[in-house]
Amino acid sequence: MEQGRQYSFFAFLSRMKHIYRWSLMRNVNQENIQEHSLQVAIIAHALALIKNLYYGGNVNPERVALLAMYHDCNETITGDLPTPIKYYNPEISRAYRDLERVSREKLLSMLPEELADLYKPILFYDEESEEGKLVKAADRLCAYIKCIEEIKAGNGEFAKAKQAVHKRLMEMDSPELKHFMDHYIENFSLTLDELN
Looking at per-residue pLDDT, the higher value among 92 and 110 belongs to 110
- Spatial distance between the Cα atoms of 70 and 21, rounded to a whole number of angstroms: 15
| Mean pLDDT computed over 61-87 | 86
Note the pLDDT tens digit of each residue in 124-178: 999 999 999 999 999 999 999 999 999 999 999 999 999 999 999 999 999 999 9
pLDDT at 85 over 70: no
The angle formed by the CA atoms of residues 58, 63 and 69, to the nearest 5 degrees, is 140
* Cα of 98 vs its chain's centroid, Å: 18
Amino acid identity for residue 9 in this structure: F
pLDDT at residue 60 is higher than 80:
yes
Could you tell me the residue ranges of all domains in the chain? 9-195
Report residue 93's pLDDT band, with 50, 70 and 90 as the boundaries: confident
Q: Are 24 and 83 in contact (CB under 8 A)?
A: no
Give the span between the Cα atoms of 175 and 71, in whole angstroms: 22
Average pLDDT over residues 65-70: 98
Question: Which is nearest to 37 in space by CA: 78, 71, 82?
Answer: 71
Instruction: Write down the CATH superfamily of domain 9-195.
Output: Hypothetical protein af1432 (1.10.3210.10)
